[in-house]
Amino acid sequence: MVHQTSSPLVGVVGAAESAGPPLGDWLALTMGDACGIGPEVIAKWWGRDARALVIGCPRVMQRAVSWVSDERRPQVVALQDWRDASKLGVRQMGVWAPPGLPLDLMDAPLGQVDKRAGQAAAACIRAAVRLAQRGEVGAIVTAPLHKEALALAGEPYPGHTELLQAEGAPPGQPPAPVRMMLANRQLRTVLVTIHVSLRQAIEQVTFDGVLETLRITHRSAALWGQPRPRIAVAGLNPHAGEGGLFGSEEIDIIAPAIHAARAEGIDASGPWAPDTIFMRARHDPPRHVGEFDVVVAMYHDQGLIPVKYLGLDEGVNVTLGLPFVRTSPDHGTAFDLAGTGRADEGSFAQAADMARLLLAGRQGQ
């Protein structure tokens, strides 16, 4: 059964008691941190894909749509059953509140870290994962959460990637290895290490870690139409170690992993100097044709700075290695913009488009 958040429904499709069918090719959108811009970018994006469901707090989403211009403003419809989203019109935003949302979530102040927002964000992600695991939705697109709020809520995960990895594991089985990919129109980068300190990242650059990253990147590229991607591997040290003068990780760890990957039929090369490999891989025809399809970077900032420099409005975060499709915009909660109505939905739109592309690739396998 469905009902509007602010006024009675009149003649709304789906008012019957029976629930709709599973949404196997739909996008499940998690609202992210309620105190940030996630709800707003979803509200501004709404209507560009007829098969989308919001997992979040209907009241939070009702507040967010008030910041959308009148001609584009959707009608928020609270869903008692998430499957009822299939009964709504294109300008009706179906919002399903999963178990675990704090009852006083609306009291969490906009633009500030609050554990209630972290608790709600985690609850939405867990609910979306359950639906994706059962094939009841096709892909997950996550609005940004705040890592500090997640920690205040008692979550042991430093971010989306690690939470999705843990929740995506089949019951009784260890989590599968996953990797973060940041992508835009010109560049794709995949990270060997993610949300750890730089000192820890250096320690975590291992033969097994690099080789597993190359395997995951190679397998995943088929989903976006590149069954044999040209993978460039960045070195860890300046000038890729300069033959051992600036560090031996390239000689002892990275090069042997590349050699092992090539023996498995993976088109990997390097290690290349990190200060030039991203420029060589950037694909922006006709001005610049990239030499590579994707770059494997050793740590978070090494790989993300080049992508984000090319523009936050186009960047997409993709979690590779999960048993389902998950994408996210390439920006954070932007607390300074929360509640101002000035948030830009461009990156979220790119994330939704990427989810569609990857879902089509997965369904075609």
- Print pLDDT tens along the chain (365 aa): 443 444 432 234 444 455 777 788 999 999 999 999 999 999 999 999 999 999 999 999 999 999 998 888 999 999 999 999 999 998 999 999 999 999 999 999 999 999 999 999 999 999 999 999 999 999 999 999 999 999 999 999 988 889 999 998 888 888 889 999 999 999 999 999 998 999 999 999 999 999 999 999 999 999 999 999 999 999 999 999 999 999 999 999 999 999 999 999 999 999 999 999 999 999 988 888 999 999 999 999 999 999 999 876 788 999 999 999 999 998 899 999 999 999 999 999 999 999 999 999 887 76
Cα within 13 Å of Cα(257), Cβ side: 26
DSSP 127-162: HHHHHHHTTSEEEEEEPP--HHHHHHTT---SSHHH
User: Cβ of 140: how many Cβ atoms within 10 Å?
Assistant: 27
Residue 245 CB-density burial (10 A; 0-12 exposed, 13-18 middle, 19+ buried): exposed
Residue 322, CA distances (Å) to 161, 180, 314, 347 in order = 10, 11, 23, 21
> Which residue has 């790119």 as its token pair?
350
**CA angle at 49 for the pair 46 and 52, rounded to the nearest 5°:** 75
For residues 143 and 160, what is the distance between their CA atoms, to the nearest angstrom? 10
Question: Domains of the chain, with CATH numbers?
Answer: 1-177+318-365 (3.40.718.10), 185-310 (3.40.718.10)
**CA angle at 284 for the pair 283 and 288, rounded to the nearest 5°:** 85
For residues 133 and 14, what is the distance between their CA atoms, to the nearest angstrom? 25
Biggest CA–CA distance in the chain, Å, is 74
DSSP-based three-state secondary structure for 58: helix
Residue 206 CB-density burial (10 A; 0-12 exposed, 13-18 middle, 19+ buried): middle
Identify whether the C-beta of residue 266 lies closer than 8 Å to the C-beta of residue 231: yes
Direct distance between the N- and C-terminal alpha carbons of the chain, in angstroms, rounded to an integer:
36
Residue 99, CA distances (Å) to 102, 120, 142, 275, 318 in order = 9, 9, 17, 47, 26
DSSP-based three-state secondary structure for 30: strand
To the question of pTM greater than 0.95 for the whole model, the response is no
